[in-house]
Structure 1
């Protein structure tokens, strides 16, 4: 993973080659400056995959084409634990998670995937895409865990304002602050354990609408950017 500095956004990293990653992840891009847009285009990005709900959108300041793939179908949870939220997404939103990964696979160039902070919805979609492409789980988890250092200073005041009127207990507030601000490795590990229980990333994606061609495309994208041999998991029968 390679940190990308973006004017008008944060928590941006490229996956694969530092000069030409095969996938980029970031926080929201609505306020991207011209310099931030140039930085993304310089990394080869020519498509934005936006995982947010329509109610979360603001007026965009960039001209990169956007494909909207909302994951929740409703307002994102304002409180709760990371593990509970992730488990709900994996178990109940498999078709939407797969649709986002399919959007990555179907795009011949480099896509940037984002939600609001670029750690939760983005973290799950990027993890599934990377695992299906053949990346090591340890590398995927380490990339996810890197988000906390960027997200906490950017969103601490926003999270405090969102949680202040919910009347949460001290324990519930602490869990909800972790939901909004942190990306501990164990949270993604727990979600990936569920994916493994369901047959692993490739089978999970196939069972929710992805085809072998999509998985082959992900592997080819990763091989092109990282110099690895492209491999695709065999179907689970």
Structure 2
């Protein structure tokens, strides 16, 4: 990363009391010589721990008017309503990237209310076919596209249709959030290297992210900050590069994938207007 790029990444971080992995995507360059405008698209880890000061900063100072919550139903139910859900000026949409046929059917909580929450990725793994193997480490990211294209499209439409800033978040703000943000950026022409660098930037705060999540009952059985291998959880540039390569190879690129799942030219124009104008 060049010195100028490093300065830009530092300026994108949003420091909050109750979240660790929050940054504004403003300043990312496009292949057409334009840049993403600030206070349009913000990515984050869980918003459950926001302080009142955090909420006021997001809503009043940064103009947040919508939240795309990519967590599963069981995460949302287990955590309860977060502070920003009480803001009347903010629309919060729950858009899980895991299969859900009904309320919380993507995962189940323990029979004992005091027991651990069973998260969807802790359950039985679906069978892996040859195409999954070719996808390598980014295979789970492709499963988001295969299983929940509807949520991906709805998240991008929420970004495009909101007058103010939209926050996209999940639990850690790196995997599910990373995929949706990458597709939004790719659709408006952000440079590939910039998309990859932004994805990997979450690695700078991985210890703080894991420490915060492991202190919450919802994720305690999945994460033990005392024994967890932080490096294993760190997002790597090559994972996002592979994802983009596979989308190019199998689907003809991000724009083609989006349009194959109901995204229209009007949607694309609205997203460009939102992020670039």
Q: For residue 61 of structure 1, what is the aligned residue in structure 2? A: 83
Rounded to whole Å, the distance in 2 between the matches of 1:30 and 1:189 is: 30
C-alpha contact 1:30 1:61 (8 A) present in aligned 2: yes
1:77 aligns with 2:121: yes
Residue 46 of structure 1: CA displacement?
1.2
Q: Matched residues in 2 for 1:177 and 1:93: separation?
A: 28
- Which stretch shifts more, 135-144 or 78-87? 78-87
Residue 192 of structure 2: aligned partner: 137
**Correspondences of 1:119-158 after superposition (within 5 Å):** 119-156=174-211, 158=214
How many Å separate the matches in 1 of 2:37 and 2:138?
Answer: 34
8 Å Cα contact 2:65/2:163 also seen in 1: no
Q: Counterpart of 2:25 in 1: which secondary structure?
A: strand
Please give the residue correspondences for 1:200-211 in structure 2 after superposition, counting only pairs within 5 Å: 200-211=253-264
Of stretches 79-88 and 181-190 in structure 1, the one that deviates more from structure 2 is 79-88
Contact 2:39 2:164 in 1 (8 A): no
Conserved 8 A contact 2:55-2:83 = no
Residue 26 of structure 1 is matched in structure 2 by 44
Q: Provide the TM-score with structure 2 as the length reference.
A: 0.69
Name the residue aligned to 2:3: none
Q: 1:20 to 1:83 in 2, by over 3 A?
A: closer
State which of 244, 247, 253 in structure 2 corresponds to 1:195: 247
Aligned residues: 213
Structure 1 residue matching 2:252: 3-state secondary structure: coil
Q: CA deviation at 1:92?
A: 3.4
Distance 1:56 1:87 in 2: 21
The structure that is strand-richer by fraction is 1
Provide, for residues 54-102 of structure 1, a one-character-per-residue CA deviation record: whole Å limited to 9, x for no partner.
Answer: 2112231222331111111224424998523113223333332222212
Quick check: 36-45 or 73-82, which moved more? Answer: 73-82
3-state SS of 1:16 partner: coil
CA displacement at 1:199 relative to structure 2: 1.4
Alignment match, 2:33: none
Provide closer, same or farther for how the CA distance between residues 54 and 177 of structure 1 changes in structure 2, counting only shifts above 3 A. Answer: farther
CA offsets 1:136-177 (integer angstroms, 9 cap, x no match): 11111111100112133321582785267xxxxxxxx97x97
Q: What secondary structure is seen at the aligned counterpart in 2 of 1:112?
A: strand
SS in structure 2 at match of 1:104: helix
CA RMSD of aligned residues (A): 2.6
**How many angstroms apart in 2 are the aligned matches of 1:92 and 1:195?**
15
Larger Rg: 2
Unaligned runs of 5+ in 1: 165-172, 225-237
* SS in structure 2 of the partner of residue 36 of structure 1: helix
Report the counterpart of residue 111 of structure 1 in structure 2. 166
8 Å CA contact 1:3–1:14 kept in 2: the answer is yes
Mapped to 2, the partners of 1:19 and 1:213 lie a distance apart of: 20
